């Protein structure tokens, strides 16, 4: 398993290309970043901004991979 595991943010919309479900969350130098896989628009995760969506998504992951 890669340390820099990327996680799709369910329901997130790219502010640049307006695509939905293309945003991935990943950790770089201990900073949470979000990147659009379509247009490669990147932004640093402001604390708490997308946290709700992230938590939701992690819960979904927990359901699908209970061994993690
Ligand atoms: Zn985009």
What does the pLDDT look like over 5-59, one tens digit per residue?
A: 789 988 989 999 999 999 999 988 888 889 999 999 998 865 555 555 555 555 5
Rounded to whole angstroms, the Cα distance separating 65 from 48 reads 25
Specify whether the CB–CB gap between 30 and 17 falls below 8 A: no
Q: Which two tokens stand for residue 5?
A: 């595991």
Q: Ligand 1 center to residue 5 CA distance, Å?
A: 19
Edge-to-edge strands, sheet with 7-8: 7-8, 23-28, 31-36, 42-44
**Class of the domain covering 7-64:** mainly beta
Residue ranges per structural domain of the chain: 7-64
Query: If you measure from the C-alpha of residue 25 to the centroid of ligand 1, how many angstroms do you get, rounded to a whole number?
Result: 13
Q: How far is the CA of 39 from the centre of ligand 1 (A)?
A: 4
- For residue 51, the CA-to-ligand 1 centroid distance in Å is 19
């Amino acid at each position: 398993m890669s340390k820099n595991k990327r996680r799709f943010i369910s329901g997130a919309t790219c502010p640049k290309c307006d695509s939905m479900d293309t945003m991935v969350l990943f950790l770089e130098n201990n900073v949470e970043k979000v990147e659009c896989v379509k247009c490669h628009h990147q932004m640093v995760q402001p604390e708490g901004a997308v946290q709700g969506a992230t938590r939701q998504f992690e819960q979904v992951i927990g359901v699908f991979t209970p061994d993690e």
